[in-house]
Structure 1
Amino acid sequence: MGFTDAACLTCRKKSRRCDRARPNCRRCISKGLQCEGYPDKFRFCGIASRGKWKNREAPIPAQITPEGSSSENPPQVNHNNEQSGASATVADTAGLTTPMQSLTPSDQRGLDKLLASVEVETLLAHYDQIICPHQIAQLDGSDNPYRLYVLPLAYEQIGLLYAVLGLSACHLGRLKGDSHLCESAAVDYRLKAITALGRTIKKVGSGAFDENECDGVFATIQILLLHDLKLDQTLTVEHKRTVFFLGNLVWLDIIRAFSTPERLCFTQDLRKRLLSLCDLRFESVNGCPREIVFIIGEILERAKAHSSGRLEATEYEELLQGLVLKLYHWDSSRCFYPSDDPLWLSVAEAFRHTCILRSLRLLDATESAAEARIQESVAAILDSLANIPGSSALVELSVMPLFMAGADCLSPHSRHYILLRLAEINGRSEMGIEGPKTLLEKVWRARAQQPKHDRSNVPWMLFTHNSESAHQDDYLII
């Protein structure tokens, strides 16, 4: 399928899949809509339509091999999967973006200069081709929301562009062993992204804060966090994009509160309102079914209230016991999943027992890891994840369950299996995330140093509150 085989203009405006039938899309006909036809050719949108790429068709970026080296020959573009270039992606979403309205002359010049750089072109292509496919578990070839939303916004929001470039530079630099990219360039882009983010947020008080800037803030925060680690048809594309970013921030908020419930920012009502608007791409990106998110969110909220003295101990324990019982009784077979792949049930079960383990530790952080109910959840996680082959995209959603099982597993062969699976995920995603492994090894060493008669727990949370590393608290933001 070539560049001319794109979605019809009507389907693109409604942000839905198109059957690409000629001369008119059958999906439009079946819904009684007028098919607006197909564009003759793609061009860059937003800033790219005025800068280096003005009046030029979208080029194919240099191919980046798995080793991170560039090839002089253009890649073979396969439009049946998610490996098309960043340029094609920006062009393909031209109908989904709005013209820039709030760029300052300084930001305009900065964007023009950035987009004229060969390094920037390479980094954007790397983000599109290598990083984007691993940010969401897609099995059906549907549109990747990180391409659909983040890349077009990055061509309009300089802070988001810096954040994307920083993440890509860090990743590509590690692949190539290029210290300039993964250290100097990545840190420089990150600093510029944070500076631009602060400048943009300050505009909130002035009231001059449009939807694109708002979405740019959400997306920038998500991408910066990664440095350390069906919707209603009446919704506009901008609203869908906002909901997508906010939905993911809800889960990131849960993850941050796993080590310290006091960090929880979103309220339960806000979580429910936001996730009720999200489509199943929420599960594709984060793995955890939203019903489980609601339960663990309420558990963490109660823990936060208890730690601040707003919830008395007896009431707190009673409430948590009831919520843990909900987790035990939750039926994964009655949940909706992004596809019909039965492996989603295994992912759901792994996350259910992940949340059970955390909840039990909130009830009693000293309970021995050898207790039957702890080991039952550890075994349930490992058995569920054993169903997921390394060739499945779903395996990349299992880092957090693997970590939680590892923190309480006792047998050497279980620990060895967990390390093998973490290495398998790192090799597949090429993200080089060492945080979970490092933290697990600290827990295991501490347990090995305990006297034989000492069965007390060694909480993994103890190792996220020291000063050895500024980002240790965010090990679980995967």
Structure 2
Amino acid sequence: MPRAGPACMTCREKCRKCDRGRPSCQRCISKGLVCQGYPDQFRFCGIASRGKWKNARIPVSEKIVQQVNLNPVSLTAAQSMAVTPAATIISGGSLTPPTPASVTRRSKRMTIESVLEKQVPEVGDDIKSLLAAEQTKTLLHHYDTFMAPHQIAELGDEKDNPYRAYILPLAKKQIGLLYAVLGLAAVHLGKLTDDTTLVKATSVEYRVKAIRALSEKIRKGQNTSLSDEEEDGVFATIQILLLHDIAETGISEHGIHITGAMSVCKSILISEGFNGRRQRAVFFIGNLAWLDIIRAFAGTRRLCFTQDFREMIATASGHRFELVNGCPREIFLIIGRVLDKAKEYKMGWTTDEDFRSTLMSAKFELHAWDAKSKTYPSSDPRWISVAIAFQFACILHIHRLLNPSQPASSPEIQTAVHEILDATADIPSDCTLIELMILPLFMAGADSLSRHSQYYVLARFREIERRSEMRNPVPADLLKQVWAARAAQGASHEHEGNISWRDFTCCPELPRQHDYLII
């Protein structure tokens, strides 16, 4: 059955379902809103317009699955179809955000979902021969010596760094995790050395094999019980695949990875819950739960983990949670409760009064939270600045949930922005803690109005990139789109409503939204 066309501009801005009524959307009319009309249809490009596959013809979709099974490396070409908006639309005095970059640049890799839809042949157990290969040794050395130290603050090169102590021994036993680590190391090393073969062929091939092995393991877990080692291998593989997303585009397409971990997480809860014996599992699941929070910042419907789950994680994980993610566990629980209620409200499961009451209570709790009285992973006083930055980043997000149209110039918005920027200024570029600050900097940047504060945010992003040699393009790209749209709005003098960064991460044409990993 053919589609009825794109959603109206009002429903697109609010990221909600549209009935596509003509000339006006009945959903808007029933809500007492002005329907702003419909955008031009998208045009599909039959030839790739840039990159390695420039001027190459795009294979039809039916061939993609065949090519995945025959030759994983050809996936880069098979999925490079571009979808571009035919025109920029300005209707009813408001600027319509452009289609997200995740839609205009189709994936160069296979997602877990596409693998699970089709039975995949079992991956052979060739760990010994793979570990003996020179390329494997080079990539594992790069991961161990260069990448792992940047994944957790302060521990860095220590032997008990869990990205070494947990992942590398598991990878030598779990073929899927080994493939995932090799894929991550290949894309990272390839970008450092400008080796396009590593980036566009080797990393893609390893990634495809990792996803195939992962899908087999998840399928096995649905029929029989997985061992502790197998379960931990699943969690570690998913986290490494997410780090691959961050290193490549910053976007995890269709939100598959985090959601896919839940069936295994639930089996652990049913069988034994979280305890000291499963610290390795607690470490990985805690990181996935924080990434779940981050993706829910872009859209509350994406939230997957429950508050009960988060409370168990906060109790069991210890300070390693902060060392990896930066956010204090108390704030993690507060914002988790907020996002749970926001999701209920979006889904129509709670009242406006209950929603606002919960958010106002959380905002008061966050303002009362005293960073100086808390304990941190070490005695370094700059941990207080990290905590304050996350504290006000969450306060800022609550403001936006309560009133999405509140102008960025509002005093309470700017107070939160200044608190974040001042806290970040206490952390020098040579301090390992600066690598934890991407999310707070991004939240402050989204509501920064002056050019010097915007410049400061981008400068700090560049410092973080130079430290880790890991560039996540999403934060800076989203901020530049917000600032450009806000500048255009100011030039038109039409109205003073807010322009939200979340508008640039939502595409109604996608049945399942992408995850924007702002870390």
Pairwise same-fold verdict (TM > 0.5): yes
* CA deviations over 1:87-120 (Å, ceiling 9, x no partner): xxxxxxxxxxxxxxxxx99632x21221121111
The aligned counterpart of 1:442 is: 481
The aligned counterpart of 1:345 is: 384
Distance 1:107 1:328 in 2: 54
Question: Residue 327 of structure 1: CA displacement?
Answer: 0.9
Q: How high is the TM-score relative to the length of structure 2?
A: 0.68
Question: Residue 154 of structure 1: CA displacement?
Answer: 0.5
Matching of residue 154 in structure 1 with residue 193 in structure 2 = no
Distance 1:468 1:394 in 2: 39
* CA deviations over 1:266-314 (Å, ceiling 9, x no partner): 1111110122011211100000000000000000000000011111112
Matching of residue 371 in structure 1 with residue 406 in structure 2 = no
Distance 1:379 1:468 in 2: 36
Question: Residue 334 of structure 1: CA displacement?
Answer: 2.1
* CA deviations over 1:155-195 (Å, ceiling 9, x no partner): 01111111111111111000000111111111111111111
Distance 1:117 1:350 in 2: 45
Contact 1:159 1:220 in 2 (8 A): yes
Q: Secondary structure at the match of 2:413?
A: helix
Distance 1:466 1:418 in 2: 26
Matching of residue 195 in structure 1 with residue 212 in structure 2 = yes
The aligned counterpart of 1:418 is: 457
Distance 1:424 1:145 in 2: 25
* CA deviations over 1:344-368 (Å, ceiling 9, x no partner): 0000000001111111111011100
Alpha-carbon distance change, 369 to 115 in structure 1, aligned in 2, over 3 angstroms: same
Out of 145, 149, 153, the residue aligned to residue 137 of structure 1 is 153
Counterparts of 1:377-456 in structure 2 under 5 Å?
377-450=416-489, 451-452=492-493, 454-456=495-497
Q: Secondary structure at the match of 1:340?
A: coil
Distance 2:345 2:359 in 1: 11
The aligned counterpart of 1:80 is: none
**Larger mean Cα displacement after TM superposition, 421-430 or 113-122:** 113-122
Out of 323, 327, 331, the residue aligned to residue 366 of structure 2 is 327
Distance 1:202 1:139 in 2: 35
Which letter maps to 1:284?
A: L
Contact 1:219 1:245 in 2 (8 A): yes
Distance 2:310 2:499 in 1: 31
Out of 307, 311, 315, the residue aligned to residue 354 of structure 2 is 315
Matching of residue 126 in structure 1 with residue 167 in structure 2 = no
The aligned counterpart of 1:165 is: 182
Distance 2:510 2:386 in 1: 31
The aligned counterpart of 1:89 is: none
Counterparts of 1:221-232 in structure 2 under 5 Å?
221-229=238-246
Contact 1:228 1:471 in 2 (8 A): no
Q: Secondary structure at the match of 1:345?
A: helix
The aligned counterpart of 1:273 is: 312
Question: Residue 139 of structure 1: CA displacement?
Answer: 5.6
Work out which structure has the larger RCO, using CA pairs closer than 8 Å and 6 or more positions apart in sequence.
2
The aligned counterpart of 2:79 is: none
Question: Residue 246 of structure 1: CA displacement?
Answer: 1.1
Distance 2:357 2:228 in 1: 43
Matching of residue 461 in structure 1 with residue 502 in structure 2 = yes
The aligned counterpart of 2:131 is: 115
Question: Residue 432 of structure 1: CA displacement?
Answer: 2.0
Which letter maps to 1:456?
A: G
The aligned counterpart of 1:286 is: 325
Question: Residue 140 of structure 1: CA displacement?
Answer: 8.5
Distance 1:470 1:228 in 2: 20
Question: Residue 253 of structure 1: CA displacement?
Answer: 0.9
Question: Residue 394 of structure 1: CA displacement?
Answer: 0.2
* CA deviations over 1:53-90 (Å, ceiling 9, x no partner): xxxxxxxxxxxxxxxxxxxxxxxxxxxxxxxxxxxxxx
Distance 2:347 2:512 in 1: 24
Q: Secondary structure at the match of 1:449?
A: helix
Distance 1:392 1:432 in 2: 18
Alpha-carbon distance change, 471 to 411 in structure 1, aligned in 2, over 3 angstroms: farther
Q: Secondary structure at the match of 1:309?
A: coil
Distance 1:469 1:188 in 2: 26
Matching of residue 300 in structure 1 with residue 339 in structure 2 = yes
Distance 1:337 1:114 in 2: 41
Which segments of 5 or more consecutive residues in structure 2 lack a partner in the other structure? 1-120, 247-274
Which segments of 5 or more consecutive residues in structure 1 lack a partner in the other structure? 1-103
* CA deviations over 1:397-421 (Å, ceiling 9, x no partner): 0011111111000000000011110
Which letter maps to 1:147?
A: R
Alpha-carbon distance change, 472 to 177 in structure 1, aligned in 2, over 3 angstroms: farther
Which letter maps to 2:136?
A: V
Which letter maps to 2:333?
A: F
Q: How high is the TM-score relative to the length of structure 1?
A: 0.74
The aligned counterpart of 1:48 is: none
Q: Secondary structure at the match of 1:402?
A: helix
Distance 2:228 2:437 in 1: 33
Question: Residue 456 of structure 1: CA displacement?
Answer: 1.0
Q: Secondary structure at the match of 2:124?
A: helix
* CA deviations over 1:319-344 (Å, ceiling 9, x no partner): 11111111111111122211000000
Q: Secondary structure at the match of 1:448?
A: helix
* CA deviations over 1:358-405 (Å, ceiling 9, x no partner): 111110111000000000011100000000000100000001111111
